[in-house]
Structures are given as C-alpha cells and as structure tokens.
Structure 1
Amino acid sequence: MNLLIAMADDPDARVRIAALHALACDRCKKDACAPAAQLDLEPALRRLTDDPEPRVRMMAAELLGKFAHTEPSATAALEHARRNDSSPAVRKVASWYAPGGTTYRKTAPRGAR
C-alpha cells in the first residue's frame, strides 16, 4: 500500500494514474487493500488540486469520492474541483462524487439516502 501511495507522486502521469486507480477501484483489489483515509487522503487531495494532468485529477476525484461521506476535506476538494477545475472532464467527474452528485447519492450510508 505504501508503494502505491508513493507512486501517486511519480513524475510520469501514467504511473500516477495507475496508482490512484489501484487505490480507488474496488474491482482491482481485495478487501484487505481497501483505501484508508489516513493514508490515501493527502496524496489524492494534492493530486486533485495541483496535478497538471487532467486524467490524474479525474482519478484523484474518484479516490476522494470514497471519503466524501466521512472526510470534510475530501468533500471540500470535490466541490472546489466541480466548480473551478480548468478541465470540463475533471469538473464532471468531481460532480459525480461531490454532495448531490449521482455517485455521492448512490454511496450514501443507509438512512442518509
């Protein structure tokens, strides 16, 4: 897991995308490798805010979506990207995971839907 987190800062955008995807995608890992906010949040926040590559920012938004119901910093970053990112594709992905978005609603804890 620590190697994947380190790879989120690789100079090659393809490596950053693959690392963030591996952290975000439930189909690509077993339960034992599920993302943990204390490890995954900081690199995902940094990538969504500062990465020059829109595809990296899109994958960071997907990873932050895992924490949108529990981590205020993830929610704030998604909302900011939804409104302000320079890429329409990043704004679209962030809107899915931000409060009110389709994925946000689908993943809401029972009773909160």
Structure 2
Amino acid sequence: MNPYFYIFGTLFFTVYGQIVLKWRLSGLKVILPEGFSEKIVYLTKLIFDPFIFSGFASAFIASLFWMAAMTKFEITQAYPFMSLAPALVFVIGILFLGETFSIGKVLGLGLIIIGIVVTVKY
C-alpha cells in the first residue's frame, strides 16, 4: 500500500470532523449557556448527537492513520502535509457551509502551500 494513503487518511478524517461539527452545530443554532455547569451539561448532550459523535470518532480514526503514517515517514516529512487541512477546510467551508471568501485567505493559503512544497521537497 502506498504510504501516502496514511497521510491522506489523516487529512480526510481530520477535515471531515471539523466540517461535520461546524455544519451540525450551525444547523442546531447552538447557543452556549452562560454558567460553567450548564455548559458542561449542554456540551455533553451535544456529544451524543450522531453527527457530532461521528466528528469525534473521525478525530480518533485520523489519529490511527497518523500513527500508521509515522511508521512510514519521518515526522519532518509527513507533518507539513497536515498544513493542507486549513486549505481543504477553506474550500469546503466556502462551497458547502457558506463561509466567507477573501483575498487575504487565498493569499495565506497560497503561502502555506508554498511552504509545504519547500519543506517537503528541500
């Protein structure tokens, strides 16, 4: 199996988790209570929402893929690929969640991608 599969799996499940959490919480129109104990109770109830739970499960699955990737790569070679997560979240957020688009975000992501190429290639 191609070792980059493990990095792809890490990215996929990381991004999935972030997107599904934002999507679901936005759909529920969550308003966090003021009191500390009320926050804990409310957040605990949210964890049992199937979509939110899948977001947390995807974080766990992403960590399993990351452990597999660490058996195939040096961390200094693999970790820069994790910088693709913000770029993927940016694109998916705009396309599916109605997030804002700005030239500054595009320039920042361009710099991240240039940094990935430089770090991995040289």
TM-score of the two chains, using structure 1 as the length reference: 0.31
Normalized per residue, the structure richer in helix is 2
Report which of the two structures shows the higher radius of gyration computed on alpha carbons. Answer: 2
Higher relative contact order (CA 8 A, sep 6+): 2
TM-score of the two chains, using structure 2 as the length reference: 0.29
